[in-house]
């Protein structure tokens, strides 16, 4: 195992010959991630474009946003532990995290969590645990793809959203998917049957 200088620190490294990449060892993994990020972005004169963060590494999103003017392209905020994410962190992700292409949120939130702000323009918004998403939230979303899993929206809520979309709301929308436990298709299509196109075949969606 060799020692190399990355930034201001000397770090132990070794080569993974099987997979073809370098493994570095840090006494503090967060400091190591920041040092490597600074080193690579300065070396190639690039900005960070994608982040995959958990509750434990959430502050890396804030750190990256504070160090560059270019918005992030993709953010995946995920955590599989049983402990809910903090409301403050989630509000930052939804309100202040500058993401232009994709925001994927894969973690549980406190049962009483509510977001009262307007959603930012995001091309793809994918929420895995969408129990907190209300019809008011949905009406402020501006995206090409909106995907809600574990949603508590009702058939009436979907009807309201479809009417909103048909009247010009969410004009960029191409794909809307909501996982709803109980769906009444007639309630969903109330006053909209003349707009419905029923198909029997399978169609693939391409962005």
pLDDT score of 206: 61
Check residue 173 and give its pLDDT.
95
For residues 57 and 39, give the distance between their C-alpha atoms in angstroms, rounded to a whole number.
19
Amino acid 169: pLDDT: 93
Share above pLDDT 70 across residues of the chain, in percent, rounded to a whole number = 97
Whole-number Cα distances in Å, 12 to 5, 18, 27, 32, 81: 9, 19, 10, 11, 31
Structure pTM?
0.84
Query: What integer is the mean pLDDT of 121-148?
Result: 95
Tell me what pLDDT residue 207 has: 55
Q: What is the pLDDT of residues 18-33, one digit of tens each?
A: 888 888 998 888 888 8
72-78 and 99-106 beta bridge pairing: parallel
CB neighbour burial string for 145-165, b if at least 16 within 10 angstroms, e if fewer:
bbbbebbebbbebbbbbbeee
pLDDT at 197: 76
């Amino acid at each position: 195992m060799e020692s190399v200088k990355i930034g201001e620190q000397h770090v132990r490294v070794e080569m993974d010959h099987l997979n073809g990449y370098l493994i570095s060892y840090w006494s503090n993994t967060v400091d190591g991630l920041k040092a490597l990020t600074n080193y690579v972005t300065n070396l190639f004169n690039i900005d960070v474009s994608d982040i995959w963060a958990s509750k434990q590494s959430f502050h890396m999103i804030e750190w990256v946003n504070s160090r560059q003017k270019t918005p992030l392209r993709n953010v995946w905020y995920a955590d599989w532990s049983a402990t809910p994410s903090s409301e403050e962190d989630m509000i930052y992700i939804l309100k202040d995290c500058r993401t232009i292409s994709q925001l994927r949120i894969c973690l549980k939130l406190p049962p009483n969590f509510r977001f009262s702000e307007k959603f930012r323009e995001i091309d793809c918004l994918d929420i895995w645990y969408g129990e907190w998403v209300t019809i008011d939230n949905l009406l402020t979303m501006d995206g090409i793809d909106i995907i809600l899993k574990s949603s508590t929206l009702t058939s009436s809520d979907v009807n309201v959203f479809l009417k909103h979309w048909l009247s010009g709301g969410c004009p960029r929308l191409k794909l809307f998917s909501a996982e709803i436990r109980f769906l009444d298709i007639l309630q969903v299509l109330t006053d909209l049957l003349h707009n419905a196109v029923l198909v029997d075949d399978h169609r693939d969606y391409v962005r």
